[in-house]
Structure 1
């Protein structure tokens, strides 16, 4: 393995998943109360409000106006009066619950739906909306319980399984999230957002083929969403299909030029194809938008090093380290730069900083061995070589374990075309 290839193996794409997933989840939470069953219940609630007895209708109108005006104390006082007056009237409480839900007053919504559930137990729509309110409050175990009971009572609505998938995902249970999103897609196969979320869960479990199939289907159903193309590009990157990844990122950029970090992602794709001038262009373009974009600076340092522009490499890498002294890739490339300049003493300092942050960094350990060898420090060279061999064996075992895990997941998800990996 050449030094450049070894470095490539040690690098990985800056975590697109974090920024893209959080953007989607924020978007989804903001629109949660206007999807699926909740839309139907909102319609019922507001129809009920207009037809409701004069006293409850008047109180709901006052509550709604106070909420819109931001009069918190007045809202709380009227809500408490309403709850006392209509404590045993499930229809009246439903109108209040939906008003609270629509206004993102999730604590109040959860309280009202919980009371309605006491008055009208085993209602799938009430349990569903209770689960949604609890989800917004991050009471994930309780949300999952309410949603699961709703699904047991009426498994048909796709939104219930969609919600269960979101709860499982946020709780870190990605395998159950996959199961629930697949149940949702069985009931609503044309929902692009369901396919996208399924792709995210497959990606988190390193099921690349399943992720790619889900993202691809999402882009086919909704070709105007940059987010879905970015997910597809991310998956292609993970499978080392850098050309396809770059094309997906470029299509995303055409749809949304302001998409987060998109120039960096395109540049990274070109870098992995060894199209270094194009990579440099996009990294520099990212810096015009985000001047302190550390990953673009770090990769510009890497490119300068590969093109033997050592002064430029030091300049870029030192900018990164001024902001993030523990940046692994920047310290590693700075060490390589010092080695090229014949300063093994400084290179040793840089590689040692890498290992302080990432003790399992195989290539940094190997570079230390080379530096100590050139510096005629045989004892330290031998110790570094010994550590390198241990890490190399651990890397091999990790790859074997990952391959075995992926085989198990292939079997587990073999029932779905998007799960075949």
Structure 2
């Protein structure tokens, strides 16, 4: 029996009992629709979280602090030590001791560390462009950790001498720019007070405009601008109150393997430091999302399994109704393998029909709902696409549903293939 003839016959046989086939296809439709929607939600949310995590931390960055002996020695809370030194009023809230120049040198000597710098805090008062109004400027203190999601322009140049800033998209209209692209390359003026309270202004070039994220907000400054602002901010500061940092940023090879990163962290731990990557700090977010999506997908799979039993029922009834027809086909020389293939093709066709209709409906409804959800309810989450339909996941769902349909049709197909032609012809 030719493949084309088998396909034509299988489709015709499937449509004999339209009501029964429609109900079975409807069950598969529901499962495929649900699975496609949950898959799209998982893809969209995961992509958004990946962007947020990327905006929060680069892949080649470690945050390094001094290891706390109390943390290392006790699993629970350590007893209060009244004799422990308190380092500086500004650092009183930190358990971790400040990093010294010797500490930074020790971090640099660790094999695999490319460079290290202490995190410095600068507190500008305002920003303005072309005397069009001054606005409060929030600064992202962890800018060295970030690889921002850009709306326009490029990333900061931390190796150059030109002071640069990455503006948030919310500053574009306020500062008087036509759009994000129009802000790139312009010079803005940043106001900052020195230690005595006197105001100074520093010029900076807008390297780019970044979308606001849920994990990090505030303008990003390059090293040259931080140096200049920090120098101004320190004017008049007594030497006895010199600023110290408890956190350092260390860079390693971005192509480093997990084993190499673990080795760097172990070496830093041996030297008395704690080091964490972005994945160590907030990777649990992705794990939680993956778990939620897995639960949602499990409900869809349950619906598909239930639809599989519907296919079994449909084809078993079809075998029973067509017993004499099967006997006649065998009497005319049709082999059991061909009959098995015929009924299996009918099962796959039912699965194909239900999965295609379900996936198509999910894509259509999901695309319309996505615009509504993002534009009306989640407008503040820039870059979020709640439902993200991609070819590979949708195609995988279609193939999975058809595989379930094929497996469901195995029992009826085997029963049909094993029919005795004489007994089948006598069947009433």
Task: Please give the TM-score of this superposition, normalised by the length of structure 2.
Answer: 0.25
Answer 1 or 2: higher relative contact order, Cα 8 Å, separation at least 6.
Answer: 2
Task: Please give the TM-score of this superposition, normalised by the length of structure 1.
Answer: 0.25
Q: Which has the larger radius of gyration?
A: 2
- From the two aligned structures, give the one with the greater helix fraction: 1
